[in-house]
Structure 1
Amino acid sequence: MESQQNPSSSADNKKIAFQFIIFMGAVSLFGDITYEGARSITGPYLAVLGASASIVGLVAGFGEFIGYGLRLVSGYFSDRTQQYWTVTIIGYGLLCSIPLLAFAGYWQIAAFLIIAERMGKGIRTPARDTILSHATKQVGRGLGFGIHEALDQIGAIIGPLIFSAVFIFEGGYRKGFTILWIPALLCVATLLVARIKLPSPEKLETSGGPTRQNIQGKGRLPRIFWFYALFSFFSVAGFVNFQIISYHFKVQSVISDVQIPVFYAIAMGADALVALIIGKTYDKIGLISLVSIPLLTLPIPLFAFSHSYGFAIIGVLLWGTAMGIHETIMRAAIADLTPIEHRGFAYGIFNTVYGVAWFLGSALIGLLYDFSILYLILFVVVMEAISVIAFFLLKKEIILSQRSQEIRTALLK
């Protein structure tokens, strides 16, 4: 990848941006191999170290809570200091807490290291997405985030398979965690190389003209962003997580225990494939592609919570497809809806809204599952219907913003 020193043409910028996105995708690939590999077995590992089920749940819940909470702070800090690379590197540096689990002799130490990794993810995500968004301006927001997500999900598939291979060859937890030093160090090394190659990615996104939506504001987050946050909240709140789906598969004997991880891998494969397709679609038709999120989310419980093996496969494929859209164009849209100077904070707010919606929605869906599948489906329908209403409010705000911009432009002529 060439250095970004006085790029001579738009074609050069596009080439530099594409190579940079591949580098950042490789960073996420190695990162996902590390922490997704660990997350697949941290529960049993804590149990081996003497932790109770309640402790395991507390560690997992607190880790996610602090991870999402830090994203708001990290995004704001990144914008104020403009130290996007520094924040990203610190966040990925904490990934090394995962292979250190090999040396944890007590569950308390393991719990600290697990939470430290979640803190690292919370710290790095808004700054990393901001850095990535500058490069996606050159190749297309959707395609850029789609390539990144596809590489990310390849890592999410490889990680758990590494531990499966370790157990097959009669290795233990410690050997598995020790092996994870390799992707963890490759992750940080690749990130440092990307930093050297492109120290100022924001230069790929000049402020010489308006975005496609022509709706970015100056000095603060625009009103349209808050409509988008509202849409995101309700669409995510009605999204059934895989833990509940896999729980149903287990207790209702829909599929065997051995096949549940395979179904998850199938979902991740669908996620990776759809990320590229929906990303390119977003670049062609814009924000209207977001309507696919509630439309795909609605049928998931109908298939996933059936007692049919075939329907279970369909439900998992729909779930993976929806996740691919979540992780691609929902992130891409932030870059199109917000000014550069506040984008880190915008990503922090978005991730916090996403996390809160995921937590509250999952908790309610879990309670409703124990009570009645019918009420669970009704809850999903209501949440997604509200999200569709929020989307059309979003579109209305875009139209009003565009008209206001046209009037201002005409007056200045």
Structure 2
Amino acid sequence: MDRPRREVPAASGPGTPDAGRQGSAGSRRPWGTVVAFGLVSLATDVVSDGARPLAGPLLAQLGASALLVGLVTGGAEAASQGLRLVFGPWADRTHRYWSFTIAGYALTAVCVPLLAAAPATGTAGLVLASVLIIGDRVGKAVRSPAKTVLLASAAKGVGRGRGFAVHKSLDLTGALLGPVIVAAVLAATGMLSAAFAVLAVPATAALALLLWLRRRVAGPGGGTVVDGGTGDGSIVDGGPVADGGATVVGSGTAGGEGAAPGPAPSLFTRDFLLFAVSAFFWSAGLVAFGVISYHLTTEADLPVAVVPLLYAGAMAAAVFGTLASGFLYDRVGGAVLLALPVLIAAVPVLAFSTGLVLILAGVAIWGAATGIQDSTVKALIADLVPEARQGSAYGVFAAFEGAGALAGGALYGALYSDSPALTAAVAALQLAALVLLLRTVRQARAA
């Protein structure tokens, strides 16, 4: 005789027993979910950011010009941001947040180690490297909106500024370790291919950890756990759990994969649109590190093995910028983001010089600006937009950032040899971003 199934309410708040084990992304132990996602991002950023500072030198080795490096690296960032306009709403419509998250991480785990093969493919190497560099960033576009919705749900319980800051600090720890690892491999072998190939190890670890986490954390919303009699009661984002036979059944919320969406609240508010347009302007001025690394190896005459170490220093600065801005955000709100255009305006003045001290300062400021853009900015989006539209909001917002990154890649490539014109163009873009940010902050505070 079949044993009767007993229904256990899904964990949905801080008072639910065993919520850390059976809860959703916003359960009683949200720090556990935040940290777990941070560890996945840490391992993935060892891969992606280990390769990122070598994009310029690799393309240069394969025969690319400064303009082509700017277009490829700028296009990669544009794909990373712009395609979220597709995948964010798609994740909201289907509620398959976990499916998009896993697919995006898998794409990065495949593309980056394959860069090791580019120098060995002859004349096709430049094309292959360009496709793989862009493919890595497409993976980020696939996963980022869905993962951020999961993370925003968990971070509500700890303060979104702090939650995103702690997650991003772990993420940036990986971005710091990756360049150190590839620098060590370069120093030992002198081969770019070996540096890319070794990144297959953390790529595999990231996917294994993500799949482990997938079985233990649901999507945002709720549901009912149908316990198969083992007492495990684990909740997942739809589908069975092998060791407990538990599935999530509908509760009228957008919790599991495939849940029926409800009426969608408005997304395009004035505050959100002002914020998105300001993001276009600051992204157009924030140079891709591939262009900086190209400058360091071709004009500043730094050894290629030193470039990943400078990138690691930038990631250390990004950790500081992330934590400082995140904790300040929970105290003073969006006003902390007014520092972002000011930091970005200083980057070309310093990073494209030939003096080592100025270059170090420029790289550090670039890192701090990148950290703020990738963490605290997302906290403000989550506070401006209803949860049911957050995947779409991150996608739309990233499309504005991606369009700015593409324009910025062309801008830096075209004006690379004319430093005064480049500095003036970036300053004008950041002035526009600052004005729009100021209006956004005032209106959001009034609301």
TM-score, normalised to structure 1, is 0.81
The residue type paired with residue 18 of structure 1 is W
Q: Give, in whole Å, the separation in 2 of the partners of 1:270 and 1:260.
A: 15
Change over 3 Å in CA distance of 1:39–1:315 after alignment to 2: closer
- Report Cα offsets for 1:237-273 as digits up to 9, x if no partner: 2334444444555555486665443322211111012
Q: 1:326 to 1:42 in 2, by over 3 A?
A: closer
8 Å CA contact retained: 2:54, 2:293: no
Equivalent residue, structure 1, for 2:408: 361
Structure 2 counterpart of 1:148: 167
Counterpart CA distance in 2 for 1:260 and 1:64 is 20
Question: Match of 1:78?
Answer: 91
Number of aligned residue pairs: 384
Aligned equivalents of 1:43 and 1:252: distance in 2?
13
**1:99 corresponding residue in structure 2:** 113
Partners in 1 of 2:74 and 2:351 — Cα distance?
24
SS of residue in 2 equivalent to 1:139: coil
What does the per-residue CA deviation read over 1:291-345, in whole Å, with 9 as the maximum and x for residues that have no partner? Answer: 1112222333343344543333322222222122111111111111111111111
Matching residue's letter, 2:142: I
Report the AA paired with residue 422 of structure 2: L
Pick which of 36-45 and 335-344 moved more.
36-45
For 1:394, the equivalent position in structure 2 comes to 440
Equivalent position of 1:295 in the other structure: 342
Alpha-carbon contact 2:97-2:219 (below 8 Å) kept: no
Q: How does 1:185-200 map to 2 (within 5 A)?
A: 185-200=204-219
Partner of 2:417, secondary structure, is: helix
Give, in whole Å, the separation in 2 of the partners of 1:249 and 1:112: 23
The aligned counterpart of 1:53 is 64
Give 1:16 shift: 1.3
Q: Counterpart of 2:408 in 1: which secondary structure?
A: helix
Structure 2 CA distance for aligned equivalents of residues 229 and 310 of structure 1:
34
Q: Distance in 1 between matches of 2:98 and 2:406?
A: 29
Name the counterpart of 2:15: 9
Distance in 2 separating the partners of 1:247 and 1:110? 15
CA offset digits 1:204-233 (Å, max 9, x no partner): 9xxxxxxxxxxxx93433221101101211
State whether residues 4 and 197 of structure 1, in contact with CA within 8 Å, keep that contact through their aligned partners in structure 2.
Answer: no
Question: Structure 1 residue 157: deviation in Å?
Answer: 2.1
Cα distance in 1 between the residues matched to 2:188 and 2:354: 35
Q: Does 1:127 find its partner at 2:146?
A: yes
Equivalent residue for 1:379? Answer: 425
In structure 1, C-alpha distance between the alignment counterparts of 2:379 and 2:36, rounded to whole Å: 18
**TM-score of the superposed pair, with normalisation by structure 2:** 0.75
Q: Would you say the 8 A contact 1:4–1:200 is kept in 2?
A: no
Q: CA RMSD in A?
A: 3.3
AA at the equivalent of 1:77 = W
* Secondary structure in 2 matching 1:299: helix
- In the aligned structure 1, how far is the partner of 2:301 from the partner of 2:193? 33
User: Counterparts of 2:135 and 2:287 in 1: how far apart (Å)?
Assistant: 27
State the match for 1:27 in structure 2. 40
Identity of aligned residues (%): 35
State the alpha-carbon separation in 2 of the partners of residues 281 and 299 from structure 1. 22
In the alignment, which residue of structure 1 is the partner of 2:329? 282
**Which residue identity is paired with 2:105?**
Y
Distance 1:312 1:6, change over 3 A: closer
- Cα distance in 2 for partners of 1:241, 1:255 equals 18
Cα deviation, residue 26, structure 1: 0.7
Partner AA of 1:187 in structure 2: A
**188, 192, 201: which is aligned to 1:182?**
201
Residues 192, 4 of structure 1: alpha-carbon distance in 2 compared, 3 angstrom cutoff: farther
Tell me the distance in 1 between the aligned counterparts of 2:164 and 2:90. Answer: 23
SS at match of 1:370: coil
Q: Secondary structure at the match of 1:138?
A: coil
**Residues 46 and 264 of structure 1, relative CA distance in 2, 3 Å threshold:** closer
- Asked whether the 8 Å contact 1:63–1:115 carries over to 2, the reply is yes
Q: Which residue pairs with 2:271 in the alignment?
A: 224
Give the one of 362, 366, 376 matched to 1:329. 376
Q: In structure 1, how many angstroms separate the alpha carbons of the residues matched to 2:296 and 2:382?
A: 38
Q: Residue 426 of structure 2 aligns to which amino acid in structure 1?
A: V
1:374 Cα deviation from its structure 2 partner: 2.4
| CA contact 1:35–1:95 (8 Å) conserved in 2 | yes
- The amino acid of 1:239's aligned partner reads L
Measure the CA separation in 2 of the matches of 1:220 and 1:350: 11
